Amino acid sequence: MFAKRTQEVEPFLAMEVMERGMAMARAGTPIVQLGVGEPNFDAPPAAVQAAVDSLVSGETHYTDSRGLFVLREAIAQDCERRRGVAVDPDHVVVTSGTSPAILLCLNLLVDPGDEVILATPHYPCYPNMIAVCGGKPILVPTGPEDGFVMDVAKVRAAITPRTRAIFLASPANPTGAVQPKEVVEELSDLGIPILSDEIYDGLTYDGARVTSPLGFTENCYVLDGFSKRYAMTGFRLGYLIAPQIAMRPLQSLMQSFFISTSQFVQQAGISALAHGAEHVEHMRGQYAIRRRILIDGLRDMGLSIPIDPPGAFYVLVDMRHFERDSLTLSFDILEKAHVALGPGRDFGEAAEGFVRFSFATSSEEIEEGLRRLARVIPQL
């Protein structure tokens, strides 16, 4: 009855655990949510004010499909500031979140039967979006023993005449891995378009430094947005930076799929870029504190954390010794400890037996989650 490609789209299991947790909360059982990547911070006040002012002044219309020029200009300046690479505002397309930016790029590059290479464990939506375009995700395993760093030789071996793109996510969800400069450079030299998801750029710890392939190759599509760095998930604002040759077809896809991104939301983005730096730095400092509380607390319980994640706001915990699949384990923990977590299975076979903890929530919630978990661990 429904198109075959919808059967390729797996449910997002962390959301399923979260939703069960919400139902339990509605029935009177308070749940600590450590499962999803939702910053608990408010958006930068200047961004909120800019959205309000924009709405009040009647900016409720379509814009240029590529986004307001002032925002594209600000994104280009931000790119130069953060990545040290100058880009033309005409190479920027503003989207309603990073997710549509990914979807636009895959629609641009992938024909039915084409292949897209990505490291696994991986963000669950990548394979789903590739499959919806008729493409085949080619998973290249990464492991805790090498810090979830991509092995370029394995990537090279996975390339076939059908390879259309290589995903690079640094810092990555769910591992928090940051790919070293040499790896990014070698991947950029393979001659295949790089889809570089940089949504967690800026959220790094212990001196980790993110390298963008934009500095090495023009055959690169940067996927980025305001959700995580600026705690603006609900605004739905993202963008992509693409090579000149791709701009016309991307513009046509954008016109047909989405027409344009909300005008008042774009104004919020302009303001976040102009005035949000201090807010972002404050949040990063708080994440660094929460990260230590979570990692130390889990280790004190005897749980195994293969790497202290250098970026993003997730900790992937090895729970294979509990001898049940990660979804069953997550539901067991939800029922017994009233803590919602992200089952590893969401992130591919390579993460089965692992569970993802998010430290995007408050220190108090994290500490309460740890106390609850410590009580039930002996019963698991």
Binding site for ligand PLP (CB under 6 A): 37, 97-99, 123, 169, 173, 197, 199, 225, 227, 233, 238
Separation CA 370–CA 223 (nearest Å): 34
Question: In the complex with ligand PLP, which residue's Cβ is closer, 200 or 264?
Answer: 200
Whether the bond between 121 and the residue before it is cis, its omega within 30 degrees of 0, is yes
Min dist CB 171 to ligand PLP, Å, is 9
Q: Which is nearer to ligand PLP, 239 or 331 (CB)?
A: 239
Q: Minimum Å distance from CB 276 to ligand PLP? A: 16
Residue type, 317: V
Distance CA 328, CA 3 (A): 30
* Nearest distance, CB of residue 207 and ligand PLP, angstroms: 22
Q: How far is 117 from 141, CA to CA, in rounded Å? A: 11
Nearer to ligand PLP, 135 or 238 (CB): 238
Residue with the two structure tokens 């909300």:
262
| For ligand PLP, the closer CB: 115 or 198 | 198
CB of 79 to ligand PLP, least distance (A): 17
Q: Smallest distance, Å, CB 200 to ligand PLP? A: 7
CB of 21 or CB of 297, closer to ligand PLP:
21
CB of 227 to ligand PLP, least distance (A): 3
Least distance CB 98 / ligand PLP (angstroms): 3
User: Would you say 131 and 178 are in contact if contact means Cβ atoms under 8 Å apart?
Assistant: no
Query: Could you tell me the smallest distance in angstroms from the CB atom of residue 97 to ligand PLP?
Result: 3
Q: Which is nearer to ligand PLP, 294 or 373 (CB)?
A: 294
Closer Cβ to ligand PLP, 36 or 305, answer by number: 36
Query: What are the C-alpha distances in Å from 192 to residues 142, 161, 216?
Result: 20, 11, 13
Tokens standing for residue 59: 């900016």
Read off the DSSP letter of residue 79: H
Q: Given the complex with ligand PLP, which of 114 and 197 has the nearer CB atom? A: 197
Using an 8 Å Cβ cutoff, are 273 and 235 in contact? no
Q: Exposed, middle or buried by CB within 10 Å (0-12, 13-18, 19+), for 274?
A: middle
Q: Where are the beta strands (DSSP E) in 257-345?
A: 314-318, 339-340, 342-343
CA 160 to each of CA 27, 137, 157: distance values in angstroms, whole numbers, following the listed order: 52, 12, 8
Q: Would you give the end-to-end CA distance of the chain in angstroms?
A: 42
In terms of CB distance, is 22 or 301 closer to ligand PLP? 22
The CA distance from 73 to 69, in Å, is 6
CB of 172 to ligand PLP, least distance (A): 7
Contacts of 261 (CB under 8 A, 6+ apart): 63, 67, 94, 95, 96, 236, 237
Q: How far is the CB of 173 from ligand PLP (least distance, A)?
A: 4
Say if CB 37 and CB 313 are below 8 A apart: yes
Question: Closer CB to ligand PLP, residue 39 or residue 353?
Answer: 39
Question: 3-class DSSP state for residue 96?
Answer: coil
User: What is the C-alpha separation between 293 and 309, in angstroms, rounded?
Assistant: 13
